[in-house]
């Protein structure tokens, strides 16, 4: 039992702050978070949730098959591939091209298929 009221108050403040740090939600992302020279993918539509960005041509992306929006801020067109290692069906975005919802894109896909949650790699 803590008998000193100052020590008790400090202990209560530490516990309260620790609770805030543990329960803090993920930072939101936005299209403006994509730096010049990068291609960026977001987990959710409208450039929200987890952001993945790369300035090269990765053979695979961290959030494999989960992208729902993208923005190409590289200086050239970028080809987004369905599978890792630049294999499979593709969707191409010119420099400055963006999609707030990949569910609206079905280029090179079958009827009722979309590009949502399909991107696994991209290249120039």
pTM beyond cutoff 0.85: no
At 18, is the secondary structure helix, strand, or coil? Answer: helix
Q: How far apart are the first and last CA of the chain?
A: 65
Superfamily, domain 31-123: Crystallins (2.60.20.10)
What's the confidence (pLDDT) of residue 4? Answer: 57
What's the confidence (pLDDT) of residue 5? Answer: 55
pLDDT in tens, the chain (124 residues): 556 555 454 444 444 444 433 333 345 578 999 999 999 999 999 999 988 999 988 888 877 888 999 999 999 999 999 998 999 989 999 999 999 999 998 888 888 888 999 998 899 8
What is the distance between the alpha carbons of residues 119 and 41, in angstroms, rounded to a whole number?
9
What's the confidence (pLDDT) of residue 13? Answer: 46
Question: 105 Cβ partners below 8 Å, 6+ apart?
Answer: 91, 99, 114, 115, 116
**Domain coordinates in residue numbering, the chain:** 31-123
């Amino acid at each position: 039992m803590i008998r000193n009221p100052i020590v008790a108050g400090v202990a209560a403040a530490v516990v309260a702050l620790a609770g805030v740090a543990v329960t803090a939600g993920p930072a939101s992302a936005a299209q403006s978070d994509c730096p010049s020279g990068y291609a960026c993918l977001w987990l959710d539509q409208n450039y929200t949730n987890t952001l993945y960005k790369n300035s090269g041509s990765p053979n695979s992306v961290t959030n494999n098959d989960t992208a729902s929006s993208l923005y190409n801020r590289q200086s050239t067109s970028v080809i987004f591939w369905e599978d890792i290692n630049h294999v499979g069906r593709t969707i191409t975005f010119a420099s400055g091209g963006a999609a707030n919802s990949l569910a609206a894109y079905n280029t090179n896909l079958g009827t009722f298929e979309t590009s949502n949650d399909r991107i696994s790699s991209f290249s120039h």
